[in-house]
Chain A
Amino acid sequence: MMILQTLRLGPLHGYALAQAIRRQSDDLVHVEEGSLYPALQRMLKAGWLAAEWGTSARNRRVRIYRLTTAGRQQLERKVSAFERLLTGITKVLRPHES
């Protein structure tokens, strides 16, 4: 979900994507960056992402990923589901506020 969310802002290549996620999560999420790539492949296969080869800012040959329409819809579904979940959790945790 974080990947889709990040890519909503614009196409990125793998390393840039990893850096963006790291920054957004304030270094809180610590995963092996390598595991990003199988995830990307899974989304490619699902049709949420499209990828094409291009060059990075340092002129390296990299694959640039962008969100597809299907990916955007998927993100919206996921976000709303997550928000519902979050609302539910919040309600449970702070019942007096409702």
Chain B
Amino acid sequence: MSLWDRLLRSRRVTREVRDELRAHLDERVDDLVEDGVPEVEAYRRARVELGNATRAIEDSRGIWASRVLDQLARDLRWTWRGLRARRGRAVLAGVLLALAVSANVLVFVAVDALVFDRNPYPNVRQLVTFDRWLVAADLAEWRRQPDLFASVEGWFSGTTFLLGADRAEHLSLVNVTPGLFESLGVRPAWGRGLTRDDSARMDEQAVLVSAALARRRFGSPEASLDQLIPTAAAPLRVVGVMPPGFSFPSNGSDIWRVLDPAGPLMRNRAGLSGIGRVQDGMSFSTLAQAVTQRSPAVAASTGVAKDIVYKVQPYGLVRGGRDRVRMFDVLLGAALCLLLTACVNVLNLELTVVLGRVRTFAVQSALGASRGTLIRVAVLEGLVLVGASGLAAWLLATLTLPALGAALPEPLRLSTSKTLALDGRAMVYMLVMAIAIWVIAALPPVIYTSRLDLSKPLKIDDRSTSPRRVGTRVRRVVTIAQVALAVLLVIVGGLYVRTYSSLLAQPKGFDSTNLASVSMALPMRFYPSAVSMRQLSDAIVERLRAQPGVVDAIDGPTPPSIGNSPTVGVRMVIDDQVRDAGTSRTFALAVTEIDPRYLQFLQVPLVAGRWLAQGDDPTAAVVSDRVATRFWPSVEAAIGGTFDAVDQSGRRTRMWGSGAHRVVGVFADYRTHDRDGPYASRAPWEEIDAFVARQPLAPPPTVGPGELDTGGSYGIVGVLARLDSHERANAVLAAVRRIDPRLTTSIEFVDDVYAEQYRTTLLATRIVGGFAVTSFIIAMAGLYGVMAFLVAGRTREIGIRMALGADRARIGRFVMGSSLRLVFAGATIGIAAAVLVSRAIASQLFGVTPTDPTTYVTVAFVTIVTASLATWQPARRAARVDPVQTLRAE
């Protein structure tokens, strides 16, 4: 018989026996009345003869229900009554806990997915990546080492333009060798996997697609099988659909195309990223050693290079840099602080309840409830509270998770192959938290209850203050802790806010007002040559200049990009002398062809020499004052100087331009990369940028036919336009779109592009700030509660003081003073903690020192003002105590 049935039966028996007893009584009364007994007397006698009806019912029920169950039922009933009696407070406690727990779960889920991407594929523990690109010969050679590797596969990312009815969709596409997914331990959920035969056909290429793409384009995964997708190059044949949620190598990939490492897709490519699956039973360290040892032999037999050392590393378990990990530490810390504040506040509320219920307990124990019952009820109340708020938190987290996912900055979202989900780990985390909460917030009242002196229970009131005294002391400590936590969080939040605003306020070094970038991604099928692309960009510039609201437009890279990617690992040749960047660094040189007016258009100031001019040949270059003073004694001395680059062995490298350049002008450096920000790349090279005038293009196409095959080769045409207001953006975009409606055209403001770099910081700022404000409010509410309780408990004392001559202002000051003492203690602890914590997060701060006086003083000031406001009402109530009334109550 189930517990429920038993409880139900227990209720039924109670009801039936009660009915029977009532009938019995009535029958007896009727009998007596018939015998001539007056009705009132008859009723009395009937009751006497019947005896203790309640005991009869209890005994009857006891026969059916087991003792334990009955007790449980009664405990539950009392628990329910207890919770109902403190409706508002119980709900408040539940809401507080639910908020704090859901915040914690969300942060945990994000950290779990974004930092610890543990198990994206079944075989992940056996997977290693190669630290250099592999060519077909490398792959073949490593596959011939079956004692080390079960398989060696390769992949590279690209893009493709899927042609639709009216426009080209630009999607990322990953080229994978046929066995790659098998190595990962993943199979398509619909259709079949890629095979070696697939890689032989180039007129139509076999692809696997994501379930999301299949749904979007064909309605369902089943419907997409065997479909042909037209692209700007060879069409793609869908042979299989991957399971929902699958991604490789990171989020945002939708198409995986079969790749023959020796086939035409590899034309013009330096190599592939390699993934090896370690042979069963081989440890990583053994493998790493063996790979290093066999490197020379493998390199020799590939015939590609001689002195290559291959290295492998475990497939990325911890993603993101140290900074990101540290940022998540802060978020997790903030969430835990918030939780702790909420717990402490709930503890505060619970203590009030227990203190307020000393009398109730006394009455209950007088009615025969044992100490055990009281403790059980107190435990149950805590469990019900924590359980209910846990459920609410789970619900809240489920509801807000999609919003969190959407708020994640793109680079963060794409850096993981996991989607944010409330999985088993989150469940375990929450369970652990719930237990911790119970211990912090619900256990102390239980202990307190168990220690209550129930021998003199009914005497406990305002006069015998011992339990209240104890409670008040505990609550003082609790309030100090709350204030300290809140102050700590608010200071950290404040430092983040200041960091974000300093980041945004960094001078860019050019005029970004209303500066917009209009860009189009071009399939090479439509624009096969650099000439045709140049023609398109000229057409866009022309259209923009004619467009109302456009002040000026120019063809050129969108800052912070400088256009060309730099050639890294070079040594500079300055005025025919070879220069090195330093012992552990090299130079990275980028020489970009621009419209000669480009820098003037940006309103970058000229420091020395002249601007580039139409007709300058590519040897004439302008450099920033940073570069000029890096190599020459002054900016003036740089004019006429020459620079060039050679590789580490001293050979001229031709990748970036045509030989030596001569400095004709020096401009004031403007902010291109995030060179000085908190997340500045710690790249081991020093970047040197230079601009030369763009050259007229020779008519024959400069793009080789090999690149066309992939269908994803494309150029980006980017045009800068200075508008007269932000509102013009849509009209401008529409005008440009009309030039070639097939293309994906977009517009964005340069200021937004810069702000985008700090979106992660913004997100952290918002989260920490939100937590800080919440915990501050909780702490102040807690302070108010304690002071109100204190005043209520001391009414008599205050009354006596007043009767003895204390004036109202003094009483008010007395209450205010005892409140502010708590706040000072809390704030001091909080500030001390903040000094320690902020030092640990110093690397994430920018434009503000960890012990920024403004932040600390402001927070201290705000805390004291708010605390005074929170105490104002209780203080006023204390001052209004009427001594006559208080003493009369004696």
Instruction: Verify that A and B bind, or say they do not.
Output: yes
Q: Mark A29-70, 1 if CB is under 8 A from B, else 0.
A: 000111101100110010000000000101011110000000
Roughly how many angstroms separate A35 CA and B63 CA in the complex, as a whole number?
13
Roughly how many angstroms separate A60 CA and B24 CA in the complex, as a whole number?
10
Residues of B within 8 A of A60 (CB): 23, 26-27
Roughly how many angstroms separate A34 CA and B25 CA in the complex, as a whole number?
10
A38 pairs with B49, CB closer than 8 A:
no
Shortest CB-to-CB span from B64 to chain A, Å, is 7
B23 pairs with A62, CB closer than 8 A:
yes
User: Within 8 Å of chain A (Cβ to Cβ): is B443?
Assistant: no
Roughly how many angstroms separate A15 CA and B23 CA in the complex, as a whole number?
8
Contact partner, A15, options B13, B27, B57, Cβ 8 Å: B27
Roughly how many angstroms separate A56 CA and B59 CA in the complex, as a whole number?
25
Residues of A within 8 A of B60 (CB): 37-38, 41
Instruction: Tell me whether A33 and B20 are in contact in the complex, defined as CB-CB below 8 angstroms, given that A41-B63, A45-B64 are known contacts.
Output: no
Roughly how many angstroms separate A43 CA and B71 CA in the complex, as a whole number?
23
User: Quick one: which of B643-662 are within 8 Å of A by CB?
Assistant: none
User: Within 8 Å of chain B (Cβ to Cβ): is A11?
Assistant: no
User: Quick one: which of A1-31 are within 8 Å of B by CB?
Assistant: 13-15, 18-19
Contact partner, B13, options A33, A35, A41, Cβ 8 Å: A41
Residues of B within 8 A of A18 (CB): 24
The range of chain B's interface size is 20 to 34
Residue of A nearest to B16 (CB): A63
Instruction: Tell me whether A35 and B20 are in contact in the complex, defined as CB-CB below 8 angstroms, given that A56-B27, A58-B27 are known contacts.
Output: no
Residue of B nearest to A42 (CB): B63
Residues of A within 8 A of B318 (CB): none
Contact partner, A33, options B31, B51, B59, B62, Cβ 8 Å: B51
Shortest CB-to-CB span from A78 to chain B, Å, is 19
Shortest CB-to-CB span from B54 to chain A, Å, is 9
Contact partner, B24, options A15, A41, A42, Cβ 8 Å: A15
Shortest CB-to-CB span from A73 to chain B, Å, is 21
Instruction: Tell me whether A38 and B23 are in contact in the complex, defined as CB-CB below 8 angstroms, given that A32-B49, A32-B50 are known contacts.
Output: no
Residue of A nearest to B48 (CB): A32
B24 pairs with A14, CB closer than 8 A:
yes
Roughly how many angstroms separate A41 CA and B55 CA in the complex, as a whole number?
13
Q: Mark B476-487, 1 if CB is under 8 A from A, else 0.
A: 000000000000
B63 pairs with A38, CB closer than 8 A:
yes
Roughly how many angstroms separate A45 CA and B23 CA in the complex, as a whole number?
22
Roughly how many angstroms separate A15 CA and B25 CA in the complex, as a whole number?
8
Shortest CB-to-CB span from A1 to chain B, Å, is 18
Roughly how many angstroms separate A38 CA and B95 CA in the complex, as a whole number?
46
B49 pairs with A45, CB closer than 8 A:
no
Residues of A within 8 A of B64 (CB): 41, 45
Shortest CB-to-CB span from A64 to chain B, Å, is 11
Residues of A within 8 A of B28 (CB): 15, 33
User: Quick one: which of B1-40 are within 8 Å of A by CB?
Assistant: 13, 16-17, 19-21, 23-24, 26-28, 30-31
Shortest CB-to-CB span from B217 to chain A, Å, is 69
User: Within 8 Å of chain A (Cβ to Cβ): is B56?
Assistant: yes
Roughly how many angstroms separate A14 CA and B357 CA in the complex, as a whole number?
43
User: Within 8 Å of chain A (Cβ to Cβ): is B52?
Assistant: yes
Instruction: Tell me whether A61 and B24 are in contact in the complex, defined as CB-CB below 8 angstroms, given that A32-B52, A37-B60 are known contacts.
Output: no
Residues of B within 8 A of A62 (CB): 20, 23, 27
Contact partner, B51, options A19, A35, A56, A63, Cβ 8 Å: A35
Residues of B within 8 A of A38 (CB): 56, 59-60, 62-63
A58 pairs with B30, CB closer than 8 A:
yes
Shortest CB-to-CB span from A25 to chain B, Å, is 14
B56 pairs with A35, CB closer than 8 A:
yes
User: Within 8 Å of chain A (Cβ to Cβ): is B407?
Assistant: no
Roughly how many angstroms separate A43 CA and B27 CA in the complex, as a whole number?
23
Residues of B within 8 A of A56 (CB): 23, 27
Residue of B nearest to A13 (CB): B23
Residue of A nearest to B28 (CB): A15
Residues of A within 8 A of B539 (CB): none
Roughly how many angstroms separate A33 CA and B62 CA in the complex, as a whole number?
18
Instruction: Tell me whether A63 and B63 are in contact in the complex, defined as CB-CB below 8 angstroms, given that A15-B28, A32-B52, A41-B13 are known contacts.
Output: no
User: Within 8 Å of chain A (Cβ to Cβ): is B53?
Assistant: yes
Residue of A nearest to B53 (CB): A34
B27 pairs with A34, CB closer than 8 A:
no
Residues of B within 8 A of A61 (CB): 19, 23
Q: Mark B51-79, 1 if CB is under 8 A from A, else 0.
A: 11101110110111000000000000000
Shortest CB-to-CB span from A29 to chain B, Å, is 13
Residues of A within 8 A of B16 (CB): 63
A14 pairs with B52, CB closer than 8 A:
no
Residues of A within 8 A of B24 (CB): 14-15, 18, 33
Question: Taking each of B13, B20, B51, which has the highest tally of chain A beta carbons within 10 Å of its own beta carbon?
Answer: B20
Roughly how many angstroms separate A35 CA and B24 CA in the complex, as a whole number?
12
Can you name 17 A-B residue pairings with CB atoms under 8 Å? A15-B28, A18-B24, A32-B50, A32-B52, A32-B56, A33-B24, A34-B21, A35-B56, A37-B20, A37-B56, A37-B60, A38-B62, A56-B23, A60-B26, A62-B27, A63-B19, A63-B20
Interface residues of B (CB under 8 A from A): 13, 16-17, 19-21, 23-24, 26-28, 30-31, 49-53, 55-57, 59-60, 62-64
